[in-house]
Chain A
């Protein structure tokens, strides 16, 4: 049987992690079908059909799908499920919100946040904030899997010619009403997919001081991250949080500034290829995962860092 991939999108465009989830789906089974649920999703559905790993697209449209509520999405997916052995989507807030609802309707024990497909029923997943890896085998007939997007490469985005079929909408769930979404728009790369991430912690001492981080990030073409402490203190908005309960990032370069390195923060960044820590406390746990540690006052180090970066004539963006 085939794998059903749940596409994540904003009605116009696919969201980037759909491509990572498509890769994971194709590692489970070569026959990947993708469902896109929304309203006026024609362009996004076309892009989905162009992913070479996708063999068929099912497009379900209705006004009550415009805002991606799990209560509306789940029954539509459950209705399709009988033709599939696996249902797959990203373990980001979209998939975390939706997939367990699908799994419970199917009486399936979901496998969350996998980082590797070992076989179609066996997966590797981190537990305890990534301090242990569990190999798990699911015995359920229908398998509901969420994948950690940063652990799978995005698939090719063009060259595919999957057919697009219309699927059937299910009646509206009226006890949940979408009110609004406040998206923080930014010209910077997305945190989850950026090549470089510059993150600030409690050591930044104020939201104003985050402009030191912003300058460095702009110079490097980097995304901005933050520890939970910095978000809790109101220095920066929640969509920047890196960690066990925030986002997991795996950039080529992660620069942790004024971040002590609690277990929960390390969970979100310790797979980064190169880690730099700047902290005035030489005993801070962040240094235990850093490839390059600089024990210094960040308010002195950051302006110097900018100066040194300005001296470099080539910075890859």
Chain B
């Protein structure tokens, strides 16, 4: 079985982002970037499945500018066998990304495609579901547990009401939740080895698909700031303030 894992380079989750003064976006220059956190879970799960002898090959793919290749390199260091970097300029919408991955799926013919459930930059939560629609494959989103069966996966999904379990026939798409597993760190020898693993570079123009943005970002601004609060000395004061000042009790 072959697993394709999609990874995205985003501003690191610990960075407090800053909005650009001209409202055109957020500051990304000299800001720490890393792999979108649930994409790390997607890679980890693929590697675990391979280690269990149920997969033979893991291909990591990213779509993005030059530096996005770092995320593929990291995936290779953690256990992916080969990488694909589809080179693009500027931000792409999930619909465009899913069309690009669709082309890669047609070429690579994976049995499963894994990715994070949501990117923490645009917070869209769309790409996996869109890819699944384009391929007419089953989708298991927000996965917190995956059991590999003969020709299917049994996936536990985190939903608002609790948990849901579905069985999806292979080929299928899974979008991964942060609770799916604990992503490992790449060891130094594996980071060195990963440098020798192949990364295929493809220009997005080679696919001949229309990736023109359909949604214009008119303005990016800071959200309204909360006014500074106060520290109370003790519980009695807190309850009095909640009752008499905030009037919420």
Interface residues of A (CB under 8 A from B): 69-71, 74, 91-94, 96-105, 107-113, 122, 126-140, 173, 175-184, 192, 196, 220, 228, 231-232, 237-239, 244-245, 247, 252-253, 263-264, 270, 273-276, 282, 287, 289-296, 301, 304-305, 307-309, 312, 315-316
Contact = CB atoms under 8 A, between A and B. Distances in A.
Contacts of B234: 294, 296, 304
B189 interface: no
Nearest to B124: A112
B162 A292 contact: no
Interface of B: 11, 13-14, 16-17, 19, 26, 38, 93-96, 98, 117-118, 120-134, 137-142, 144, 154, 157-169, 172, 177-179, 213-223, 226, 229-232, 234-236, 238-239, 241-243, 246, 248-249
A16 to B, nearest CB: 11
A294 B231 contact: yes
Contacts, number: 263
Contacts of A238: 144, 158, 162-163, 179
A290 B229 contact: yes
Given A181-B163, A192-B160, A293-B229, 10 more contacts: A100-B125, A100-B130, A108-B95, A135-B218, A179-B167, A180-B165, A182-B162, A196-B248, A232-B178, A244-B120
Contact of A245 (B127, B178, B215, B246): B178
20 contacts: A70-B129, A93-B142, A100-B133, A112-B124, A127-B26, A131-B223, A132-B19, A137-B218, A181-B161, A181-B165, A182-B163, A238-B158, A238-B162, A244-B120, A245-B38, A264-B120, A287-B231, A290-B229, A305-B235, A309-B239
Contacts of B235: 294, 296, 301, 304-305, 307-308
Contacts of A274: 242, 246, 248
A315 B213 CA distance: 51
Nearest to B129: A100
Given A100-B130, A100-B133, A183-B162, A291 B246 contact: yes
Contacts of B138: 71, 173, 175-176
B160 A244 contact: no
B231 to A, nearest CB: 5
Contacts of B142: 93, 96-97
A-B pairs, 5 with minimum CB distance: A100-B129, A104-B133, A104-B130, A109-B214, A100-B126
A274 B158 CA distance: 29
A128 B249 contact: no
Given A110-B94, A138-B214, A291-B230, A263 B13 contact: yes
Contacts of B222: 131-133
Contacts of B218: 122, 135-137
A128 B160 contact: no
